[in-house]
Amino acid sequence: MEAKEMERIVRVAESWMTPAYDEETRAAVRRMLDAEDKTELVDSFYRTLEFGTGGLRGIMGPGTNRMNQYIVAQATQGFATYLLKVQKQGGFSTLKGDRISVVVGHDCRNNGRLFAETVADVFAANGIRVYLFESLRPTPEVSFAIRHLGCQGGVNVTASHNPKEYNGYKAYWEDGSQVLQPHDQGIIDEVNKVRMEDVKRNGDKSLIEIIGGEMDYDYMMAVKSVMIDQDVILRQKDLNIVYTPMHGAGRHIVPMCLRSWGFQNIHVVPEQMVIDGNFPTVVSPNPENAEAMTMGMNLGTKLGADLVIASDPDADRIAIVCRNDKGEWVIINGNQTCMMYCYYIINNMKQLGKMRDDMYLVKTIVTSELIRRIADRQGVTLTDEYTGFKWIANRIRMWEGERKYIGGGEESFGFLPYDAVRDKCSPSSICLICEIAAYAKDHGMTLYDYLLHIYAEYGFQREATVNIVRPGKTGADEIRQMMADYRQNPPQEIAGEKVVCIKDYQSLIRRDWKDGRWEESRMEMALDATSNVLQYFTDGGLKVSVRPSGTEPKIKYYFEIPAGDPSCRTFTGADYERCTAEAEARVPAIKASLGI
């Protein structure tokens, strides 16, 4: 590293040695300054942790490039300044009176309460009313509370399912969704202007109101409104359910919601009911990982459970494990989960006469096209949105008062079955998957059998994700070049199948191969927003999506690979295994076609 850059880093670190910072922080910074190896000092101070479109996320510790109460305070000052600016411009539709208000929550992570109280203090010092949850709560309940209380924004302190070293800060707008354009950039601009001496602290404590039990009840009642068929739940109220909150925010609310729906045979993993930001029972608190589900599956085996369900630390994502036809535990992937929800919602609402022409579903552009097939055949509107639930929330906002939202999800284990919340919601999704399992059992099926039934009706495909990691500046440059190469020289064939459709969400241009030539058309996306995503569709039914990650140094590939005979109207567990193997065997050829 150049001497000038090291001098700059040292100056920044030394500015943290003033009484404005607590004694523990000053001692940690002094230790870094005095250390012979300056690696930790450089990593902690070489930049300021970036406030992105979703907020903050980073490793906890002292320094400008770390999550700590001072960086949280700076971010909140910028957010508060922007909220007050929008108020002056008359930009809030929910504001009643002359004082804006926000909701603040946190999950189980270390320093979560400290950071949440810091957020509340800075907002109050700026004259903003704060509704602060008394203790950890799910992310979707924070979203619900913003809408329920008529607030203009909110913050949830969480790093979702990241490792224990991380914490984060999610910023929400008045509709309960994570901020979108133009407000996302407006907040970023204000945060970037804030110096530590600009932060207002020690505000009027009377502006901070603690909320808890009453909001839990109202939220639980909203979750109960998702229920489609109460009779089937009453008949199968003894469905054997094992649940784990992964030491996090679902620990009370999820069992409470399940009981309110009528389920009576609920078991929890006791070791993982303990609130602990160190997540001592798992390598990583990510329910997408099979390892994280081990304790739940072990308890499920002991108790003869029908299914095992988990939520991640902030209780927005879910994971579902059920028994296959051999009695073995299998994890249902995110695409399958979303597909089952959409299939059940459409079919059972129709059976009960609850379906209306104005109802619609949503999926993200990288989520299974089988859901599109289901919706189209059933005559139900389905929209495709960009990755991230803020885009699903945006669709709900756009069509509010015109059409009725009944469900939406993404491949990364998130679903939202109602519009009282504007982020993915594990309590409602868990209750609904248990209703689906109850329906299956009422018809002599397991949840796995129900999945096979959908494949028998609509055909089988296997989804696969490949991540290519390229760290550092050179890695970022390489990823940019890879995307440029795909645009300049798109693949003509993938795994021996001709590419017949290309979608470029950066230019919003779609190209279709028709009558021996390419025909171009413009795609319509919400807010005319663009995204650095490419998609290829082949004449054999393959779908490949490519996009750089917005938060990690990687480029992500999503494969959808059909297999088996789509005209076959039976589909067994043996068919599932055979078709899965057939699809997975094609992955190397797909990767080779893409040069990875």
How large is the average pLDDT for residues 326-353?
A: 97
Q: Are strands 543-548 and 534-538 parallel, antiparallel or unpaired?
A: antiparallel
Q: Is the pLDDT of residue 159 over 80?
A: yes
Query: What interhelical angle do 23-34 and 3-14 show, nearest 10?
Result: 160
pLDDT level of residue 288 (50, 70, 90 thresholds): confident
Helix (H) or strand (E) holding 29: helix 23-34
Q: Is the pLDDT of residue 434 over 90?
A: yes
68 and 180 part of one domain? yes
pLDDT, averaged across the chain: 96
- The answer to whether the beta carbons of residues 435 and 349 sit under 8 Å apart is no
184 and 239 part of one domain? no
| Cα separations in angstroms, 372 against 380, 382, 525 | 9, 7, 17
What percent of the chain clears pLDDT 90, i.e. is strictly above it?
Answer: 93
- The answer to whether the beta carbons of residues 371 and 361 sit under 8 Å apart is yes
58 and 189 part of one domain? yes
Total Cβ atoms within 10 A of residue 27: 12
254 and 159 part of one domain? no
What tokens were used for 317?
Answer: 């994502």
Q: Residue 114's closest CA among 136, 146, 144, 138?
A: 136
Q: What domain count does the chain have?
A: 4
Domain stops at, among 144, 177, 211? 211
Could you write out the DSSP letters of every residue in 494-512? ETTEEEEEEEETTTTEEEE
CATH number at residue 196: 3.40.120.10
Q: CA quadruple 471, 473, 476, 478: dihedral positive or negative?
A: negative
- Quote the CA–CA distance of 542 and 560 in Å, as a whole number: 6
pLDDT level of residue 289 (50, 70, 90 thresholds): confident
Q: Is the pLDDT of residue 585 over 80?
A: yes
What tokens were used for 400?
Answer: 């509010």
Q: Is the pLDDT of residue 181 over 80?
A: yes
What tokens were used for 552?
Answer: 């990690």
Mark out the alpha helices in 460-569 (DSSP H runs): 472-488
How large is the average pLDDT for residues 267-289?
A: 95
278 and 319 part of one domain? yes
pLDDT value at residue 544: 98
Helix (H) or strand (E) holding 453: helix 447-458
Q: Is the pLDDT of residue 541 over 70?
A: yes
How large is the average pLDDT for residues 552-579?
A: 92
Q: Residue 586's closest CA among 507, 501, 494?
A: 494
pLDDT value at residue 569: 85
- Quote the CA–CA distance of 389 and 381 in Å, as a whole number: 18
- Quote the CA–CA distance of 171 and 55 in Å, as a whole number: 6
Domain stops at, among 143, 176, 211? 211
What's the predicted TM-score (pTM) here? 0.96
- The answer to whether the beta carbons of residues 495 and 507 sit under 8 Å apart is no
257 and 327 part of one domain? yes
What tokens were used for 424?
Answer: 């993915």
pLDDT value at residue 112: 98
pLDDT value at residue 170: 96
Helix (H) or strand (E) holding 405: strand 404-410
Q: Is the pLDDT of residue 404 over 80?
A: yes
User: Which amino acid appears at position 296 of this protein?
Assistant: G
What tokens were used for 1?
Answer: 């590293």
pLDDT value at residue 287: 85
Alpha carbon of residue 278 to chain centroid: 21
Could you write out the DSSP letters of every residue in 279-346? -TT-SS--TTSGGGGHHHHHHHHHHT-SEEEEE-TTS--EEEEEE-TTS-EEEEPHHHHHHHHHHHHH
Q: Which of 101, 160, 426, 593 is catalytic?
A: 160
How large is the average pLDDT for residues 64-76?
A: 97
Q: Residue 172's closest CA among 127, 207, 221, 123?
A: 123
300 and 426 part of one domain? yes
177 and 283 part of one domain? no
- Quote the CA–CA distance of 396 and 404 in Å, as a whole number: 8
Q: In a 3-state reduction of DSSP, which class is residue 414?
A: strand
- Quote the CA–CA distance of 99 and 79 in Å, as a whole number: 15
254 and 281 part of one domain? yes
How large is the average pLDDT for residues 85-99?
A: 95
How large is the average pLDDT for residues 551-564?
A: 90
Q: 29-36 long-range CB contacts below 8 Å, 24 or more apart? A: 29/62, 29/63, 32/62, 32/63
What percent of the chain clears pLDDT 70, i.e. is strictly above it?
Answer: 99
How large is the average pLDDT for residues 125-129?
A: 98
What is the signed CA dihedral for 426, 431, 434, 436, rounded to 10 degrees? -100
Q: In a 3-state reduction of DSSP, which class is residue 391?
A: helix
**pLDDT tens readout for residues 199-252:** 999 999 999 999 999 999 999 999 999 999 999 999 999 999 999 999 999 999
pLDDT value at residue 567: 84
67 or 1: whose pLDDT is higher?
67
- The answer to whether the beta carbons of residues 44 and 63 sit under 8 Å apart is yes
What tokens were used for 22?
Answer: 């607590």
pLDDT value at residue 588: 97
**pLDDT tens readout for residues 21-56:** 999 999 999 999 999 999 999 999 999 998 887 899
133, with CB counted inside 10 A (0-12, 13-18, 19+), is buried
How large is the average pLDDT for residues 514-522?
A: 96
What tokens were used for 336?
Answer: 């399958």
- Quote the CA–CA distance of 46 and 4 in Å, as a whole number: 12
Query: 56 lies in which domain range?
Result: 47-211
- Quote the CA–CA distance of 195 and 217 in Å, as a whole number: 40
283 and 408 part of one domain? yes
329 and 237 part of one domain? yes
- The answer to whether the beta carbons of residues 211 and 133 sit under 8 Å apart is yes
93 catalytic? Reply is no
Could you write out the DSSP letters of every residue in 1-22? --HHHHHHHHHHHHGGGSTTS-
227 and 311 part of one domain? yes
Q: Is the pLDDT of residue 552 over 80?
A: no
Q: Are strands 493-494 and 497-504 parallel, antiparallel or unpaired?
A: antiparallel
pLDDT level of residue 266 (50, 70, 90 thresholds): very high
Domain stops at, among 211, 232, 254? 211
pLDDT value at residue 472: 75
pLDDT value at residue 551: 63
